[in-house]
Structure 1
Amino acid sequence: MAVRMTSSVLKVVAALLADPAAEQYGLQLMQATGLPSGTLYPILVRLERAGWLRSRWEDVDPTAEGRPSRRYYQLTADGVADARREVTTMQQQMARATGIPGFST
């Protein structure tokens, strides 16, 4: 499924691509991207619906941990490939638009 690439989606994808094998939870992604939760979580839902991400709830006792359970997000194999392709496409478009060879965001 196609994902519309906005600057906010690119930030999320870039944060996830920094370590594609890692699971990251929302607060980590908010800190990495600078996006507020009201922007981040709808993007994560869209990426998961598109098959780019899988998510799971942490299996902990919130009382014992002293915090709510975390939902972890990780790129799927298809998500890694699709995300890299989209980032490359956006970099190429920016290079053409700016006239700077090899321009990357």
Structure 2
Amino acid sequence: MARERRPSRQTAAVLAALAAGPGWRHGYDLARETGLASGTLYPVLMRLEERGYLESRWSEGIEGRPRRHLYRITAAGLRYAAGAAGPARHRPATRPRLEGA
């Protein structure tokens, strides 16, 4: 079985924001909390939904206001978020020196 890749910094931020509470959140709130631009945030949300890590629905319409897309993390998303918060793999800060070069 293939190992799941670690999420990007942006994906980890979205997962952490959604994992902080069980309720439905809309994209604007998530953008404010994570500091991500909409052009980054919404593709991340769509990928997470496609993978089953979150679910979405449309808000109830309020007269005079557009409906909003709401997002909520799933149990699989909580497990993935917990793994994302784990220790990062060690990567050397610089290339190793070549002796005698």
Alignment counterpart, residue 80 of structure 1, candidates 78, 81, 91: 78
Equivalent residues, number: 89
- TM-score normalised by the chain length of structure 2: 0.78
Per the alignment, residue 31 of structure 2 pairs with: 30
Letter in 1 for 2:41: L
* Runs of 5+ consecutive residues of structure 1 not aligned to the other structure: 99-105
Q: Residue in 2 aligned with 1:69?
A: 67
**What residue ranges of structure 2 are gaps of 5+ in the alignment?**
93-101
Moved over 3 A (4+): none
TM-score by length of 1: 0.75
The question of whether the paired residues in 1 share the 8 Å contact of 2:53 and 2:76 is answered with: yes
Counting aligned pairs with the same residue, the percent is 39
Match of 1:13 among 15, 22, 27: 15
Q: Distance in 1 between matches of 2:5 and 2:39?
A: 18
Contact 1:17-1:80 at 8 Å conserved across structures: yes
Task: Say if 1:3 and 1:46, in contact at 8 Å, map to a contact too.
Answer: no
Between structure 1 and structure 2, the one with the greater Rg is: 2
Higher helix content, 1 or 2: 1
The RMSD of aligned alpha carbons is: 1.9
